[in-house]
Amino acid sequence: MKVAMVSGAGRGLGAAIAERLLAEGWTLSLGLRDPAQARRFADAGDRVAAFRFEATDPAAAAPWVEGTLARFGRLDALINNAGILRVVDFEQGSEEDLDALWAVNVKAPFRLIRLALPHLRRAGQGRVVNIASTDAKRYRAGVSVGYTMSKHALLAMTQAVRFAGWEDGVRATAICTGAIDTGMIDGLPGVTPKADRLRPETVAAMVAFVLSLPNQASVPEFIANTRLESLI
């Protein structure tokens, strides 16, 4: 049995990741704002446990990690999927919007990694997967500066995890994709047309792939762009 924690798995990309990992035999601990969202995985029986996890609440991380260990006795992977997008640039957005981006996209993953790392080290092949973005790789005009900043920070955090856990078999990957066809980007000006977006199931397959690799095949970044750009 291999156990993965997945944040934000109630819908969209997180749900697609959970479905893919269940199909590949994983046991899942889901961090959800509303644990009732786990009903969609009822067919998985005792291979799924749901915990309340609110990314903006610093006190929510420890009970989820502790509950996972109490329920399953081990932890093999942490997938930091929960994230938000707020439009913040030098003309739009508030300090509160910027704080929210930092709280959800940066501080919540940091907290979870800090708590999970000792258990991932014990697994011998522990994995951390952070759902980043192509916006973690560059700044593109018209994209939220605040969002881009947060995803750059998440990419840096991914590299730090690799160094922190390398000798104990922990590997970390930032999934850096272009636009994913979920509700998070619907209605945003200048967003990638729906027909050109990545399907959540495609990104879920990327997550499953990097989790399947041995320690000798470390993938720091998995980049899948939906646009033609010279460097990514």
What per-residue confidence (pLDDT) applies to 188?
A: 82
pLDDT class of 217 with cuts at 50, 70, 90: very high
Q: How sure is the predictor about 191, in pLDDT bands with cuts at 50, 70 and 90?
A: confident
Q: What's the CATH code, domain 3-224?
A: 3.40.50.720
Question: From residue 226, how far is each of 4, 7, 35, 145 by CA, in Å?
Answer: 28, 24, 33, 20
Say which residues have a Cβ less than 8 Å from residue 18's Cβ, sequence separation at least 6.
6, 9, 28, 30, 41, 48
pLDDT-derived band at 144, boundaries 50, 70, 90: very high
9, two tokens: 């798995």
Q: What is the pLDDT of residue 95?
A: 98
Kindly report the average pLDDT of the chain as a whole number.
97
| Average pLDDT of span 176-197 | 90
Residue 189 pLDDT greater than 80, yes or no: no
Can you name the residues that pair with 77 across neighbouring β-strands? 4, 127
* Cα–Cα nearest to 84, from 26, 189, 34, 12: 12
Instruction: Sketch the domain layout of the chain as residue ranges.
Output: 3-224
The catalytic position among 5, 147, 149, 206 is: 147
Tokens of 38: 């786990």
Helix, strand, or coil (residue 129) = strand
Q: Report how far residue 16's alpha carbon sits from residue 75's, in angstroms, rounded to the nearest whole number.
A: 20
CB atoms within 10 A of CB 209: 13
pLDDT at 168: 98
147 classed as catalytic: yes
Tell me the three state secondary structure of residue 54.
coil
Residue 190 confidence class, pLDDT cut points 50, 70, 90 = confident
| pLDDT tens track for 58-114 | 999 999 999 999 999 999 999 999 999 999 999 999 999 999 999 999 999 999 999
Split at pLDDT 50, 70, 90, the class of 129 is very high
| Per-residue pLDDT tens digits for 7-55 | 999 999 999 999 999 999 999 999 999 999 999 999 999 999 999 999 9
pLDDT of residue 43: 96
